[in-house]
Structure 1
């Protein structure tokens, strides 16, 4: 697990994204719920409103094997145990009972259910035994230590739960003799076959517990997560009166509970709802829908073209935002509330002298690279050769009669063709780029000039999120084109030197957006380069942003899109930070140790990728 040097050093924590992705796939497979997310929290939890289950950070900072098996045991318990074998009805009935020891009662029931369901899962899936064995060993030691501490501090309710956990594992603490009668009642859990059985046993113990213990628990060792009473509202079919409709069915299992919330979220994202969400009420008059036609036009559309009038289209692009689009669930669950805008980046001012200076400085590198690449391309073309012993038969067969050893065959030269590749460049437009703008612009200009020189289709886009307008309801994101695929070899240096830094960066969303555009191209080699100077940072996009970006990279690779990352830094790169970016981008992450090296690293990255294209072409 990698970490990054952050402003608050004691909060230097990041999750292993590859591991979390594997856990998510495993949870989805075991529960037969592909929509299921996996997050990390203090304790394992069920969070249906988020379509998520949470594994516990209890396993962090332990040996790698223990950490891995611990997380696996959490997933087995949640998605193969609680998912279909825990009764929500029994839990609701149990929690509605009033008691001065409500926390102890609930945690005892969850402790009992963990034991029952662990045994059930291991019986049905013997391969899970290794993970549960590690879980039992670590938690035994933990509860033994907690029991000693809680007895010393006088937290007797907490100590009783520690003792109850150990008792189910065959350990009888010497200092808990006064609980002997309760422990005998508790051991009936070995014969429990359902949540109702476990709840009945805790109920029988409650009166004696309330008599012996004055205070409820201080600590939390088990938590259910969201309240089981929390369910989405039932939607009646249009035209049916509420009193005429049948009552919704009682939710019995965790699986049904999650499916109810999932259906609710899908309804919210349905296309039929988007008009009201994005454009507001149409405020139809009494006369009906005919009068709605008088409403003011909200959007205009136009076709795309690759004709000679592209100049006019550019001007139109600059003046007109394409209008907001709702991401919904198309670009990853972490980006469901994103609303994004696409537009051309308008050139500001006249930068001719600056562009000329940068190009003069870069010219030797660009010329050398183009010369080398064109030479390699030429070498791959076969020369036209005649008088061969094998190949295509020549039309001139006179030598068959005149020569003793005729060679009437020839080989045709390979047809000349352009490189079968497409490139796109995503540029982080967050505020942290403000002190690196000139170096980034020079690198982007180099990228543009080399690909134009080779006639390779490419696209350059700035991406950012408006932090000031972001909220729970929507997070506005922007994509600003400096050069589009349709632009061919047209020079957009003025636009490149005009981009500015903005606020936040939602990297996973941007990668998915760009990958969607690249997938429309049929080229054999498809590359997506990301220029960034930091980790993902946007509204509600902290730890899950790292995971979302890693998932976006993995999804792009499945579509045969090679994702490359170039990290720009104004100070030497630490191994920790390099490992952090490898965690998201794999071994395709390159770092520039200083601003001066950024252009050089861009050149090396382009050179390496283009050589691969030529060799495999």
Structure 2
């Protein structure tokens, strides 16, 4: 797990996940494509194979107003401009032409199209003008500065791109006598209505520039994203007769390009599944529909802590451990290549002496909390509210005679005997937890003992990713239960004392996995506690891991699941770290500033959560 407090400050980049999520929703709404995802890259890019658009990190480290308007202008340009008004066919034909200056030629066209599309969007949507005004002001200053630098260094092709941008914004610069004459051709872009109009202007410019310049542009100011000739994959599966190939449908817009990729991605597994169903392949249960309908549902059963179902569950756990499952789009796009394993965490040695010492130390806190909570529950059950406008009619009817507005009704509070709540605890199993294991085990044991004492169903799960086996094709993740819902009052202190540190942590995936189990529960109050000691860190899960985790927390809240986060640290937490975790978990993130505070903070979280449950009845 990477630490938030990196030693090189300029590497300590964070992103406003809430704003990025809002931008993603806006992009999907403008393009009428809910499947669109949003990422950040050096420049704006179109990435249909990922169903993603990328906004530029160019806007970072500026004022909040400029940063927000800059991101908005990126979204408007791609989702309301390029999406339907850029000719993909014309771009593909443009790219097929051989030239000695390919980078300059491509960037001039993208510069021309940005200008054309920006003006078109502002005319159609006046509300976007403020964002584009900010974009124009910042980029004008930027290109003026770049123009001077390129002029001094003799980077003539780069200088020409700067001059081209500035010319369209009414800023006159002296690029030399040979190039100033080209500005008359360039001004024809003010009358351009289509991508082909822009292509014609750029081609006329390049016919002259190719004889004047010897080297291509060195800097990249504009990029398109994925190659135009990168077609959606065709999935062929054995046993399905290949039909005669047909002429591929001509793609004319970016929207059609993205839809083609999205459609193929959605259907990628369908032929194989259909063939296996027709053939009756028993292996379907390992990665198909049966898998989704079995294990998780059975684990939500409620019952007495003794009985045959526990033995059945243990047998299923052993069988489950040998069946890895594929995420396949069910747990967020950042986790599509995850393969996960579920199993019980087994105690490898006897920890009775450690457990006894920990419980003796925690006993006063556990007894006090249980006594307080049970007292509150009893008061709640016996409480009577009188002087109400509706309810049961009181035997004391005198107020009907003597009061102008009598309230002769009362109502008894009658909560259920058991707390209508369920708790889950996810424990970060990354390598950086190794120096906090004893304190973490004690905090988890406290969590377990309090909820057992109140007969509240709960789960305790260790999660981690195998960093050594992770690759582009597959990222193995592991979930190890120390206690499951159906275990009810069984004591799993031995398993808790056996938890260990491993490699990486994919927090957003783990939260979604637990959410999928929690949302099937019938309890009124559902809580998910996450114990971790740093930011998400896994294969291809750097900056997008922060966004993915924040989105997972947001999704859980929409499903009525309360997510609480405890940051475990051996040192005092900095304001930067606190802000970082608030960004992912909102105001439900607390920290333990020292190893001694782990148990204390766990007690605080539990106490606050259970008081809310009792108060709500």
| TM-score, normalization by structure 2 | 0.89
1:236 and 1:245 in contact (8 A); partners too:
no
Equivalences for residues 127-138 of structure 1 within 5 A: 127-138=127-138
State whether structure 2 residue 338 is matched by structure 1 residue 338: yes
Partner residue in 1 for 2:518: 518
Partner residue in 2 for 1:531: 531
- CA–CA separation in structure 1 for the residues paired with 2:236 and 2:275: 21
Partner residue in 2 for 1:402: none
Partner residue in 2 for 1:429: 429
Partner residue in 2 for 1:316: 315
Using a 3 Å threshold, how does the CA distance of structure 1 residues 171 and 358 change in structure 2: closer, same or farther? same
Following superposition, the deviation at residue 330 of structure 1 comes to: 0.8
Unaligned segments of structure 1, at least 5 residues: 277-281, 283-287, 398-407
Between 38-47 and 174-183, the greater mean CA deviation after superposition? 174-183
Following superposition, the deviation at residue 312 of structure 1 comes to: 2.3
The one-character-per-residue Cα deviations of 1:113-157 (angstroms, maximum 9, x if unpaired) are 000000111111111100000000001111111111111111111
The one-character-per-residue Cα deviations of 1:191-220 (angstroms, maximum 9, x if unpaired) are 001110100011111121112222221111
| Aligned-pair Cα RMSD in Å | 3.1
- CA–CA separation in structure 2 for the residues paired with 1:533 and 1:275: 46
Q: Based on CA coordinates, which of the two structures has the bigger radius of gyration? A: 1
2:310 and 2:487 in contact (8 A); partners too:
no
- CA–CA separation in structure 1 for the residues paired with 2:283 and 2:208: 74
Using a 3 Å threshold, how does the CA distance of structure 1 residues 104 and 615 change in structure 2: closer, same or farther? same
Following superposition, the deviation at residue 179 of structure 1 comes to: 2.2
Partner residue in 2 for 1:559: 559
State whether structure 2 residue 617 is matched by structure 1 residue 614: no
User: What secondary structure sits across from 1:381 in the alignment?
Assistant: helix
- CA–CA separation in structure 2 for the residues paired with 1:383 and 1:141: 69
- CA–CA separation in structure 2 for the residues paired with 1:332 and 1:294: 25
- CA–CA separation in structure 1 for the residues paired with 2:64 and 2:203: 40
Following superposition, the deviation at residue 496 of structure 1 comes to: 1.0
Using a 3 Å threshold, how does the CA distance of structure 1 residues 193 and 409 change in structure 2: closer, same or farther? closer
State whether structure 2 residue 228 is matched by structure 1 residue 228: yes
User: What secondary structure sits across from 1:426 in the alignment?
Assistant: strand
Partner residue in 2 for 1:190: 190
Unaligned segments of structure 2, at least 5 residues: 398-407
Following superposition, the deviation at residue 487 of structure 1 comes to: 1.4
User: What secondary structure sits across from 1:20 in the alignment?
Assistant: helix
- CA–CA separation in structure 2 for the residues paired with 1:294 and 1:562: 37
Following superposition, the deviation at residue 316 of structure 1 comes to: 2.4
Using a 3 Å threshold, how does the CA distance of structure 1 residues 62 and 30 change in structure 2: closer, same or farther? same
- CA–CA separation in structure 1 for the residues paired with 2:96 and 2:458: 62
- CA–CA separation in structure 2 for the residues paired with 1:608 and 1:176: 72
Between 465-474 and 232-241, the greater mean CA deviation after superposition? 232-241
Q: How many residues align?
A: 592
- CA–CA separation in structure 2 for the residues paired with 1:107 and 1:146: 15
- CA–CA separation in structure 2 for the residues paired with 1:339 and 1:374: 43
2:380 and 2:415 in contact (8 A); partners too:
no
Equivalences for residues 323-362 of structure 1 within 5 A: 323-362=323-362
Following superposition, the deviation at residue 318 of structure 1 comes to: 5.7
The one-character-per-residue Cα deviations of 1:220-246 (angstroms, maximum 9, x if unpaired) are 11111111011124568997765x443
Using a 3 Å threshold, how does the CA distance of structure 1 residues 380 and 49 change in structure 2: closer, same or farther? same
Partner residue in 1 for 2:579: 579
- CA–CA separation in structure 2 for the residues paired with 1:18 and 1:385: 42
Using a 3 Å threshold, how does the CA distance of structure 1 residues 200 and 440 change in structure 2: closer, same or farther? same
State whether structure 2 residue 24 is matched by structure 1 residue 12: no
| TM-score, normalization by structure 1 | 0.89
The one-character-per-residue Cα deviations of 1:540-595 (angstroms, maximum 9, x if unpaired) are 11111110000000000000101000010111111111111111001100000011
Using a 3 Å threshold, how does the CA distance of structure 1 residues 473 and 595 change in structure 2: closer, same or farther? same
Between 37-46 and 320-329, the greater mean CA deviation after superposition? 320-329
Between 459-468 and 110-119, the greater mean CA deviation after superposition? 459-468
User: What secondary structure sits across from 2:515 in the alignment?
Assistant: helix
